[in-house]
Amino acid sequence: MNLHQQIDSLTKFLQSDPTNPHIMADLVDLYLQAGPLENARELLEIGMAAYPDNPRFKFQLANVCLSDADFETAQKLLEELLESGFDNIGVQYNIALASAMQNNMEKAHKHLQQIRQNPEDRFAEGEILYLRSLHHLGQIDEALELGSSLTEAYKNNGELLGVLSLLHLDNQAFSLARHYAEQAQQLQVNNLESLSTLGTLYLDEMETALAKSYFDKALAIQPQDGRAWLGLGLSELLDQNPDQSTRHLEQAVQLMPDHLDSWHALAWAKISKGDIDGAETAVNTIIQKEPANANAHGTLAIIKIMKGDKTAAHVLVDEALRLDPTCFAALAAQTILRAPDSQAQDVRNNLDLLLSKPLFNDGVTVRDTLRKFITKYTPAGKTTKH
C-alpha cells in the first residue's frame, strides 16, 4: 500500500472516529511524508484544540514549521516539549537543526552532543550536522577526524561529501576538496556545499566566469547562503566590477556579520569603487570585532594614504607589521609611503597603480597578493588573524 492509499484508508477510519488522537497523529505523519503540508497543519489545529497537552501533536507541528522554514517557531515548540519532560532523539535533533538554520551552531552543537553520548543513537543526518557544527566552530582537527570515519560509514552520501569538500577547502587541501566536491556533484547535482567549493576553486584559478556560474547555482538553491554571496562578490572584484562586487559583498556581511574576511573583501570593493569613506567604515568594523587584525590596520593605512593622511598611515603600518611582519596591506602601504611624493600622489589618484605596485623583489604585486587573500576562506562565522 503506497502513501496515498494509506492516507485514504486512515481518512476513512478518522471519519468514523473523528476525535481519535492516534489516528489523527498517524495521518499527520503521512501528510508530512506525502503532502500537502497544509493538510497536516489543518489536522493538527483540530487535534491540538481537542488535546492541547498532546506532545506528539506539538512535535508534529514543529516538523511542519521546519518544513515551512519557520525555524524560530519550530525551536520554540521543541524547547517547550523538552521543558515538559518530552525528550528523545527526534526532539534533540530537530532543535539542533532549527538552531543551525538560524546560524546558531553553538546551540546546535550542544544538542547534537547530547545525542552522540550513546553511539547507538547516532544516525547519518545527525552526524553530518555535527560535522558541520565542528567546522563552523573552528574545530578543524576534530572535524577532519570525524569526517574520515564518516566516509567509511556513509560512503555514498552526497550531503556528507559536500560538507567534506568545504571542510578540506577551508583546510587548504584543494585536491581533496575538488575530489569530494566532484563526487558530491555526481550524487547530488544541487549539493550546496560542493557548488560553493567548486566555485571557490575556480576563483582561486582566476576562472571567474566558471566561479560565478557555480555561485549563481548555489544562490538559486539557497538565496541566504552568505558564502556564495561572498564568492560572487570576490569574482566581480577580480573582474574589476566594483559596483556589482559591493552589492554582493554587502549581502555577504549582512548574512555573515562576524565573518571578518567578508568585511575585508567589502572594504577592497569599496576602495575599487572609490568609496573611501565606505571602505574605512568596513575596516573599522573589523577592528572593532578583532582589534589585533593586522590586515585591517594595513588596509586602513592605505585608506589614510588615499585620504592624504601620511602621519596616521605610518602609525597604522607600524602597528600592522608589529602584529604580522608579512601583512600584505601594510607592506603595500609601506611601499607607497617610501616612494617619492610625486609617485605616492600618483598612487593615491590611481587605484590601478596601487594594485600593480610590487611588494617584493620577485615582482609580486598588491593585486597578486590580494587575489590569494580574498580566495582563502575561513569558516563562516569564524574570524582569522592575518
Of the pLDDT bands very low, low, confident and very high (cuts 50, 70, 90), residue 349 is low
Type of residue found at 200: T
In angstroms, the CA 365 to CA 362 distance is 9
363 versus 379: the higher-pLDDT residue is: 363
Mean per-residue pLDDT of the chain:
88
Q: Work out the percent of the chain whose per-residue pLDDT is above 70.
A: 88
Which DSSP state fits 119? G
Q: Which three cell numbers stand for residue 375?
A: 580566495
Q: Which three cell numbers stand for residue 347?
A: 598612487
- Cβ pair 386, 324 in contact under 8 A: yes
In angstroms, the CA 165 to CA 193 distance is 7
**What is the tens place of the pLDDT at every residue in 148-192?**
999 988 988 999 999 999 999 989 899 999 999 999 999 999 999
348 φ, ψ (degrees, to nearest 5): -60, -35
Calculate the alpha carbon distances from 123 to 23, 115, 341, 370 in Å. Answer: 28, 9, 65, 42
In angstroms, the CA 164 to CA 39 distance is 37
pLDDT number for residue 358: 59
Q: What is the CATH number of domain 255-386?
A: 1.25.40.10
Sign of CA dihedral 317, 320, 324, 328: negative
In angstroms, the CA 177 to CA 342 distance is 47
Give the lowest-confidence range in 199-203, 262-266, 285-289, 366-370: 366-370
**What is the tens place of the pLDDT at every residue in 83-127?**
999 889 999 999 999 999 888 999 999 999 999 999 999 999 999
Distance of CA 208 to the CA centre of its chain: 20
Break the chain into its structural domains and give their ranges: 255-386
**What is the tens place of the pLDDT at every residue in 39-67?**
999 999 999 999 988 999 999 999 999 99
pTM, 2 dp: 0.81
**What is the tens place of the pLDDT at every residue in 235-286?**
998 888 999 999 999 999 999 898 898 999 999 999 988 899 999 999 999 9
pLDDT number for residue 243: 95
Calculate the alpha carbon distances from 183 to 92, 133, 156, 180, 186 in Å. Answer: 30, 22, 9, 5, 5
E-only strand ranges, the chain: none
Give the SS3 label for residue 358.
Answer: strand
